[in-house]
Amino acid sequence: MTEDITGPQDLQALYDSVMEKDSKYVMQTYGRQPIVLSKGTGALVQDIYGKEYIDCVAGIAVNNVGHCHPTVVRAIQAQVEKLMHVSNLYYTEIQAELAEALVSITGMMRIFFCNSGAEAMEGAMKLARLVSGKSAFVAADHSFHGRTIGALSVTHRSIYRDPFMPPVSSETTFVPYSDADAIRHAISESTAAVILEPIQGEGGVNVPDPEYLKEVREICDETGTLLIFDEVQTGFGRTGTWFCKEHFGVEPDIMSMAKAMAGGFPMGAIAARSEISFGRGQHASTFGGSPLACAAALASIEVIKEEKLLKRSTENGTYFMGKLRSMDREDIVEIRGKGLMIGVETKYPCSKFVDFARENGVLLNCTSDSVLRLVPPLMITKKQIDTVVDVIEQA
Ligand SMILES: *Cc1c(COP(=O)(O)O)cnc(C)c1O
C-alpha cells in the first residue's frame, strides 16, 4: 500500500515488485508505459512517485468526467452500501432510471445493458441477425469494434484478426471508409447490417465526409439493410455532443456504447429503434446493468449536464486544435477531429513522441502507428492544453 510508504527506496521497491509480478503473473498482451499509476483527479493522474501527468488518454476515452469525479465517487459509495448486484432476474429502480435517461439522450427507444464495448457490439450483431433474418455484415477498412470473436470479425486490422480466423461471420465485407458507393456495392441479399463508427477511433481518428453517413442511411433504407453505429468511443460528450451521430444528423437502427458511459466504471449498452428488440430469453448478461454500474452511469450523465461538458468538449476541442494547428511543424501531416477526439498524424511512428511526453508529464496515446490520439477528460483546462501543446511541439 502506497500510504505506508515514505522513502524513495520503498517506492523503488514497490515499483520493482509491481513490474516483477506483472511480468510473472499477467499475460503479456499489452505494450505498457513503464509507470505505475496510483491516483487521479480531473485531468491529472499521479504515479507512485508522486509525479503528475496531464492525461490525454483518459483510460482510452473513458474518463470523460475526469478521474474520480466526486459526484460519481459518492454515487458509487452510496450504492455499494445498499446493493451491488442482483442479476437481471429482478428489477431495480436505478436500472429503470438509467434506461429512461439513456433513451432521452440517445433518441433511441430501448436499451440492453452489458459490460463492455465488445459485448455491446456482439449484442448489436446478434440483434441485427435476429431482426433481419440475414447473416452478413459490411464494415469499414480501419474499423475497430472489439476483441471478442464476433466483434473481431468486423474489425479490420490484420494483427488483431488474423491469428484468430476464421471469423464467426465469414461474410464480412470491408469497404473504404467515407465512401458511400463502396457500401452500395458491398450490400448483398445476405447483408444483415452495415456497421460503422461515426468517427473512427482506433483506426486513427478518421472523420468522414459530412454527407457520408446520410448517404449510407439512404442506401440502407433503399436496400432494407440495418445500420449499426458503434459509438463506444465517440459517446458521452467525447465529440461535443452526447453522441457523434448528432453531428451528421443521422439515426442508426442500433447503436452501441460503453467506454465513458459510467464515468470510469465498466459498463456497456445497446440502444435500438422501437421495433428492433430481442424477445424473451434471446439475449442476456449476468452483470449487465448492475446497480453499481447504473449508479455510476447516472452520476456521470448528471455531471456532463451540470458542468456543461458537451459545451466544454466543443470549446476545448476548438481551442486545442487551433493551438495544435498553430505549431509550425513539418513532421505533422494532419490535425483532425471533433470536440475532444483529436488525431495528430505524424510523418513517423509516434511512439517516441509518447515516451518524450510521458517523461515531461503528459500522457499520450499513439494509434494506427502514426496518429497521436488526444482524448483527455472533457474538463481539461486551457492552461493544461497549452502545456500539452508545448510538450508535443518539443517532442
Ligand atoms: C474500445 C472500442 C470497442 C471495444 O470496447 P471494449 O470495452 O474494449 O470491449 C469497440 N468499438 C470501439 C469503437 C471502441 O473504441
Residues marked as catalytic: 144, 230, 259
For residue 234, the domain's CATH number is 3.40.640.10
pLDDT at 15: 97
Q: With respect to residue 383, please indicate whether it lies within any of the assigned structural domains.
A: no
Rounded to 5 degrees, φ, ψ at 172 are -85, 130
How far, in Å, from the CA of 9 to the mean position of ligand 1?
Answer: 39
**Which residue type, as a one-letter code, is found at position 115?**
N
H/E stretch holding 19 reads: helix 8-25
Position 3 scores a pLDDT of 56
Structural domain contains residue 211: yes
Q: Residue 210 is which amino acid?
A: P
pLDDT score, position 169? 59
Nearest atom (ligand 1) to Cα of 266: 7
Q: How far is CA 68 from the centre of its chain?
A: 18
- Is residue 251 in a domain? yes
The SS3 call for residue 385 is helix
Task: Report CA(16)–ligand 1 centroid distance (Å).
Answer: 31
Q: For position 274, what pLDDT does the model report?
A: 86
Which one, of 29, 58, 31, lies nearest residue 43 by Cα?
58
Axis crossing angle, helix 351-359 with helix 382-394, rounded to the nearest 10 = 120
Q: Is 54 helix (H, G, I), strand (E, B) or coil?
A: strand
What's residue 162's pLDDT?
86
Q: Is residue 368 part of a domain?
A: no
Candidate of 113, 121, 233 to mutate for ligand 1, largest count of ligand atoms within 8 Å of Cβ: 233
SS3 46: strand
Burial level of 356, CB count in 10 A (0-12/13-18/19+)?
middle
Which of the residues in the chain have pLDDT under 50? 1-2
Residue whose CA lies nearest to ligand 1 atom number 8:
117
How far, in Å, CA of 115 to CA of 112, rounded? 10
Residue 4 lies in a domain: no
CA nearest neighbour of 226 among 75, 97, 124, 98? 124
Other C-beta atoms within 10 Å of 188: how many? 13
- Written as one string, the DSSP assignment of 79-143 is HHHH-S---TTS--HHHHHHHHHHHHHH--SEEEEESSHHHHHHHHHHHHHHHH---EEEEETT-
Ligand 1 pocket mutation pick from 157, 232, 256, 373 by most atoms within 8 angstroms of CB: 232
Closest ligand 1 atom to the C-alpha of 231? 13
Question: Is residue 248 situated within a structural domain?
Answer: yes
Task: Give residue 161's pLDDT.
Answer: 87
Give the total number of structural domains in the chain. 1
| Calpha distance 84→57 (Å, rounded) | 29
- pTM > 0.85: yes or no: yes
Residue 91 domain flag? yes
Sheet containing strand 52-55, edge to edge, reads 37-41, 44-47, 52-55, 362-363
What pLDDT, on a 0 to 100 scale, did the predictor assign at position 137? 96
C-alpha 117 to ligand 1 mean position (Å): 4
Check residue 198 and give its pLDDT: 98
Q: Which cell numbers in the block locate residue 117?
A: 464495448
**Ligand 1 center to 173 CA (angstroms):** 20
Residues, the chain, total?
395
> 219 lies in which domain range?
75-306
Is residue 50 included in any domain, yes or no?
no
